[in-house]
Structure 1
Amino acid sequence: MLNAITKGIDFLIEKQGQLTSFLIVPLLFIVLYEVLMRYAFNAPTVWGFEATAFAYGMHYMLGLSFMENAQGHVRVDIVTGRLPKRVQAVVMIVGYLIIFLPVYGLMTWGAFKFAHTATITNELNSTSWAPRIWPYKIAMAVSFLFLLLQGLSTMLKQVQFLTGKSES
């Protein structure tokens, strides 16, 4: 049962990460267009800098869960790295239960509240370009949800290891 859950979450996050990687393409075109307009024609756009920040922000946020899946986040394991694998698994489970899952659970909940409010009020960004901000807030909420799910999967893999149902 746990194996099916972790495999399902990992598959979802891997596919989402692969799709998210393509956000670099519009980001590249926005930056190239802005640089061309600014330096070749001395006519910078009103929206270029902000669109770049939004595209990069979405790329970054949606990539968080993919990095958790790939174990690509920085970990300081000076002490735990020297412990036996089973003790490391217990430390990880406790850390995920006490810190990771509650923190990202609350962040996910809060982000969905902000996204909901932004959506029903059709919130605009307070800049001269004034784009609708709700799509970005929804993307942020979804990214926290993906990270929360991937953290749950990572923790469940450690539980599986402790119960002898995986290799860690």
Structure 2
Amino acid sequence: MSDYDLNLDQVEEAVAHKATVDYPRTRISDWLERIVEVFGKYTSFIWVVLILLIVGNVIMRYALGTNFVALEELQWHLYAIGFMCALSYCITHDGHVRVDVVAERLSPKARAWIEMLGIALFILPFCVLILIYAWPFVEHSIRIGEVSAAPGGLPMRWLIKSVILLAFVLMALAATARFFRALAFLSGWPRPLDTPKQNNNNSPE
């Protein structure tokens, strides 16, 4: 059996990002993305805590024959926080799912236009709609001091619900930053802070 020297970084660059466009940075996009980055990086530890918590709950259930409702609820609370905060981080790093078979056939200019329209017509209105309807939902939970309905469950149920507001504010910031970067790519405004590497995927034409 022969050995293969496989460079995973090269594979990732050649395949996974084939349909992406490297938009230039701008002052406003940098400012917005820094906010998202802070929350993305400092909430990433949640996944480590969640794994340890799941393992601990499994050990208590099958080895010790006991379990705690509060710890089980904490599992899905942490998962919800990690997932919702990761959405904006994913947009900032252009890590969302694409239909590559379609996107790779379009010019970078067409992809930038589609992304801008998608942000303006779908993502931002969706974030605003969620925030409008989530605010009364969260406010009511805070006002009544909502707790878990399960005996032995977690207190402060309003805390996890408040993450909905934070997550969709961050998503709106990430989408707005992406919009300005695509706009700078197409029009030169806002003034780009750098020039992306020019190749077949990054040329506006």
Q: So what's the TM-score if we normalise by structure 2?
A: 0.74
Alignment-derived partner of residue 3 in structure 1: 26
Question: Once the two structures are superposed, what CA deviation does each residue of 1:34-61 show, in whole Å capped at 9, x if it has no partner?
Answer: 1221112111222232111111111111
Kept in 2, the 8 Å contact 1:101–1:148? The answer is yes
Q: Provide the C-alpha distance between the structure 2 equivalents of 1:77 and 1:107, rounded to a whole number of angstroms.
A: 29
1:51 maps to which of 70, 74, 87: 74
1:155 aligns with 2:179: yes
In 1: Cα distance, 2:37 partner to 2:97 partner: 19
Pick from 15, 19, 22 the counterpart of residue 38 of structure 2.
15
Q: CA deviation at 1:91?
A: 1.4
Q: CA deviation at 1:10?
A: 1.0
| Equivalent position amino acid for 1:114 in 2 | F
Name stretches of at least 5 consecutive residues in structure 1 with no aligned partner: none
What are the Cα deviations for residues 80-119 of structure 1, in whole angstroms up to 9, with x where unaligned?
4322222221111111111111011211232233222211
Name the residue aligned to 2:63: 40
Q: How far 1:77 moved relative to its partner?
A: 4.2
CA contact (8 A) 2:69 2:153 kept: no
Q: Secondary structure at the match of 1:43?
A: coil
* Unaligned 5+ runs, structure 2: 1-24, 197-201
User: Taking structure 1 as reference, are residues 155 and 127 closer, same or farther at Cα in structure 2, changes over 3 Å only?
Assistant: same
1:115 corresponding residue in structure 2: 138
Give aligned-pair identity as a percent.
26
Q: Which structure has the bigger radius of gyration?
A: 2
* 1:57-136 equivalent positions in 2, closer than 5 A: 57-131=80-154, 132-136=156-160
Using the TM superposition, give the Cα deviation of residue 152 of structure 1 relative to its aligned residue in structure 2, in angstroms: 0.9
Cα distance change of structure 1 residues 78 and 105 upon mapping to structure 2, 3 Å threshold: farther
SS in 2 for 1:93: helix
Distance 1:129 1:81 in 2: 53
CA distance in 2, matches of 1:129, 1:73: 38
Distance change (3 Å), C-alpha of 1:148 and 1:43: same
User: Counterpart of 1:146?
Assistant: 170
Q: What secondary structure is seen at the aligned counterpart in 2 of 1:50?
A: helix
Alignment root-mean-square deviation, CA: 1.9
Evaluate the alpha carbon distance shift between residue 38 and residue 23 of structure 1 in structure 2; reply closer, same or farther with a 3 A threshold.
Answer: same
Of 38-47 and 141-150, the range deviating more from structure 2: 38-47
Q: What SS is found at the alignment partner of 2:69? A: coil
Aligned mates of 1:83, 1:61 — CA distance in 2? 30
Amino acid of the structure 2 residue aligned with 1:88: R
Whether the 8 Å CA contact 2:73–2:153 is kept in 1: the answer is no
The structure with more helix, counted as a fraction of residues: 1
